[in-house]
A = this chain, B = another copy of it.
Amino acid sequence: MPHQTECKVGFIGLGRMGAAMARNILKAGFPLTVYNRSAAKTQPFLDAGAAGAATPAAAAVGADVVVTSLMDDQSVLAAVEGGEGILEQLRPGAVHVGTTTISPRCAATLAALHRTHGSDYVAAPVVGRPDLAEAGRLTSFVAGDAGAIARAHPVCSAYSQAVIPVGSTPAVANSLKLAVNYIIYAVVDLMGQVYAFGEKSGIDPQHLGMVMQTMFGHPGLQEYAARIRDRRFDDVGFDLLGELKDVQLILDASTEVRAPVPFAGVVRDKLLTAVAQGLGAKDCSAVYEITRMNAGLK
């Protein structure tokens, strides 16, 4: 593994999550080349000492590690394949660190592409909202070749408080990430159901809040409980349309492996209603507004 300042990093995708992660990589002292579809977002990075690239491929030239932080299966595949994709420029032994929440099936496809090319794919989906990304305190589940994971580790550590290896099959990290998201979305919906039931039953929200705090002590779940209690959905950590995409991914993955996840169907239908009612750009916890509507609460 090269000394930190010698490990050259390419970074593809400077959205809210990606930009925060890339800033931490830069802060940690890695030589960094960034690419973003709309070039405007690269300027602050150039100002801070990073190099810019006109294509994903250009960001991969000479890189030891290339990190992608994109939208979905399609956008990741588009950044890898074809004349402008990173694969063409990736040297043998270079590592592609995929942080996007994509389907396990797509992760398997990416792993096969890299294997053929002689580079390595490390699935490294992250858990945490943008504020945690900014603080360098995400959790990364990493899966792939052990040597590749070791080479990617310092880079992932730049934006993660924990880098947890979960096996040698990349897709498994994505399955685990989907499981985590499924738990979050199901519990967030459940919290909303309980708050609406409580309000209509005359339960003091303070008492319900206390119960929730005891039962769902994890800070991430607590933050959602607070947003729901206060109906505070404009401070968008992760938007509702993003959740809908993720819920589709878990449903598709459950179809792949033939393992029903019945709460997901219920949540999906409520998300559709939320989007149909114009809440798509609100924080994902805003699904509670549909739960309220369903209970006849104003």
- Give A residues with C-beta under 8 Å from B: 104, 141, 164, 166-167, 169, 171-172, 175-176, 179-180, 182-184, 186-187, 189-190, 193-194, 196-204, 207-208, 210-211, 214-218, 220-221, 244, 248, 251, 253-255, 257-263, 265-266, 268-270, 272-273, 275-278, 291, 293-297
Contact A179–B194 (Cβ < 8 Å): yes
Contact B262–A266 (Cβ < 8 Å): yes
Q: Answer whether A278 and B260 are a contact pair too, CB < 8 Å, given A169-B202, A215-B221.
A: no
Contact A276–B263 (Cβ < 8 Å): no
Jot down 24 A-B pairs with beta carbons below 8 A, ordered by A. Answer: A167-B202, A167-B204, A171-B201, A175-B197, A179-B198, A183-B211, A186-B190, A186-B263, A189-B263, A197-B257, A215-B218, A244-B255, A254-B272, A258-B276, A260-B268, A260-B269, A260-B270, A260-B273, A262-B269, A263-B266, A272-B294, A273-B294, A273-B296, A293-B293
Minimum Cβ distance to chain B for residue A127 (Å): 9
A190 to B259, CA, bound (A): 13
Report which of B186, B265, B296 forms a contact with A268, defined as CB distance below 8 A.
Answer: B265
By a CB distance below 8 angstroms, the chain B residues around A207 are 141, 164, 166-167, 176
This chain: copies in complex: 4
By a CB distance below 8 angstroms, the chain B residues around A265 are 262, 265-266, 268-269
Minimum Cβ distance to chain B for residue A204 (Å): 6
Give the one of A176, A184, A248, A251 with max B CB within 10 A. Answer: A176
By a CB distance below 8 angstroms, the chain B residues around A176 are 198, 203, 207-208, 211
| Chain A contact residues: helix, strand, loop or mixed | helix
A162 to B196, CA, bound (A): 25
From A194, which residue of chain B is reached at the shortest CB distance? B179
From A167, which residue of chain B is reached at the shortest CB distance? B204
Contact A190–B187 (Cβ < 8 Å): yes
Contact B179–A258 (Cβ < 8 Å): no
Q: Answer whether A166 and B266 are a contact pair too, CB < 8 Å, given A218-B217, A258-B272, A273-B296.
A: no
By a CB distance below 8 angstroms, the chain B residues around A200 are 257-259
Report which of B180, B251, B253, B295 forms a contact with A273, defined as CB distance below 8 A.
Answer: B295
From A273, which residue of chain B is reached at the shortest CB distance? B294
Contact B262–A193 (Cβ < 8 Å): yes
Minimum Cβ distance to chain B for residue A199 (Å): 8
By a CB distance below 8 angstroms, the chain B residues around A253 are 197, 201
A201 to B104, CA, bound (A): 9
A121 to B197, CA, bound (A): 24
